[in-house]
């Protein structure tokens, strides 16, 4: 029985990948590095420490990750203003879950500052969620299960009573390892790469009927 929904953020509620990638490229450019968008793909969904730090390592840059992140977030905050919108069906699905008395958690590998920027831009209050867990709240980030175990605990639920909504391979693995059922969205990866998920759909506007029935 599903009693709680654990939402990832990027690729589930909002598509900010283009902009954090651009911010990362601009930030690394200040260090003299000409990073490419494809450099960031292997680190998608793992939080900015790996997303930015992994590319920095690839190019041999040994800089303070906190300094790099702070600069990237400053750039990100500027370039996303008026550009981000909630992904199709996201707000409607949240309202549907609320109408079914589901407990809701936001479980994102992103740092709090990026999460708040995203929520601000898509017009979704932090209070929408009963619990929020960010990458700063766990030692091990996705694909480890820690963030979803903590999110379920914060809701007072067992992982097996939670549905994880994810878009990344690392996130699906984290959710399944935690013991949750997983709904994968094909916003960042193809369906063939998300085979570990219990259900796969294109957006929260096309959630399978089987999943909706579990919320009744």
Element containing residue 163 per DSSP (H, E): strand 162-166
Residues 6+ apart with CB under 8 A from 46: 54, 109, 141, 142, 143, 170
**Quick one: how far is CA 39 from the chain centroid?**
19
Residue 8 a catalytic site member: yes
Q: What proportions of the chain, in percent to the nearest 5, are helix, strand and coil?
A: 50, 15, 40
Given 10, 111, 167, 198, which residue is catalytic?
10
In terms of Cβ atoms closer than 10 Å to its own Cβ (0-12, 13-18, 19+), residue 45 is buried
Which residues participate in catalysis according to the annotation?
8, 10
């Amino acid at each position: 029985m599903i009693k709680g929904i654990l939402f990832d953020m990027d690729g589930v509620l909002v598509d900010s990948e283009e902009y954090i990638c651009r911010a990362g490229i601009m930030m690394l450019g200040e260090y003299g590095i000409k990073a490419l968008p494809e450099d960031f793909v292997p680190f998608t969904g793992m939080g900015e420490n790996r997303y930015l730090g992994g590319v920095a390592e690839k190019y041999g840059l040994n800089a303070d990750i906190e300094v790099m992140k702070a600069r990237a977030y400053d750039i990100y905050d500027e370039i996303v203003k008026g550009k981000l919108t909630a992904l199709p069906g996201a707000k409607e699905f949240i309202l549907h879950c609320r109408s079914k008395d589901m407990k809701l958690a936001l479980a994102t590998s992103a740092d709090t500052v990026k999460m708040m920027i995203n929520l601000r831009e898509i017009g979704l209050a932090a209070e929408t969620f009963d619990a929020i867990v960010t990458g700063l709240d766990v030692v091990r980030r996705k694909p480890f299960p820690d963030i979803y175990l903590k999110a379920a605990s914060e809701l007072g639920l067992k992982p097996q009573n939670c549905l994880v909504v994810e878009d990344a391979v690392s996130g699906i693995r984290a959710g399944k390892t935690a013991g949750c059922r997983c709904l994968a969205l094909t916003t960042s990866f193809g369906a063939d790469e998300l085979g570990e998920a219990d259900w796969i759909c294109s957006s929260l506007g096309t959630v399978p009927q089987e999943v909706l029935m579990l919320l009744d």
